[in-house]
Amino acid sequence: MHDAATLLEIESIKQLKARYCRQLDAKEWAAWRALFADDFVSEIVDTATRVVVGADEFVTYTRQTLGRPSQATVHHVHAPEISLTSPTTARGTWALHDVVRLIPMLTLRGYGHYDEKYVKADGQWRLQSSRLTRLREDVVTPLLTLYDARRLRAAAARLARRTSNERG
């Protein structure tokens, strides 16, 4: 592929990721869904790895997790490393910083990387798969900041499972 054409394809993928962040934070679910290939696969790696298969399933999962109007989110991605693997496929890695208001007065600040695959169909680049690896999560309140919240989430998950098992 010609160098100028390669740069245009890479720029198109950057625009795709920019729309991903903006539409997610604006909770524009129908427009956000259009960014994914139907067979999209999401993997989130943290204390408990979660895999969601299918674009519709991923949008539903995300909407249930982050979709409350009071639950503001801010996703910033930067430092893209994008390479075309064929005229219709590509790979990319992005640094991530996100902010998620869990509840009023309790905010999560996350840091990590997206490793993604893209596919071009009908002249449009779409996300084919995404693996989010979190390096760090900090829970912030007006009075207290708890650094590296992964350990806290893991402890809370163990406690929830233990409580659930005792009841069930």
Extract the tokens encoding 25.
């934070």
What's the whole-number mean pLDDT along residues 61-86?
Answer: 92
Answer yes or no: are the C-beta atoms of 66 and 92 closer than 8 Å: no
**Would you list the domain boundaries of the chain?**
3-167
Predicted confidence at residue 146, as pLDDT, reads 63
Predicted confidence at residue 149, as pLDDT, reads 61
Residue 28 has pLDDT above 90, yes or no: yes
Of the pLDDT bands very low, low, confident and very high (cuts 50, 70, 90), residue 10 is very high
Residue 138 has pLDDT above 80, yes or no: yes
Compute CA 120 distance to the chain's CA centroid, rounded to the nearest angstrom.
20
Residue 155 has pLDDT above 80, yes or no: no
Predicted confidence at residue 65, as pLDDT, reads 86
CATH architecture of 3-167: Roll (3.10)
What's the whole-number mean pLDDT along residues 13-30?
Answer: 97
Of the pLDDT bands very low, low, confident and very high (cuts 50, 70, 90), residue 159 is low
What's the whole-number mean pLDDT along residues 15-20?
Answer: 98
Cα–Cα nearest to 125, from 12, 25, 31, 41 = 12
Full-model pTM = 0.82
What's the whole-number mean pLDDT along residues 20-28?
Answer: 96
Q: With H, G, I as helix, E, B as strand and everything else as coil, classify residue 30.
A: helix
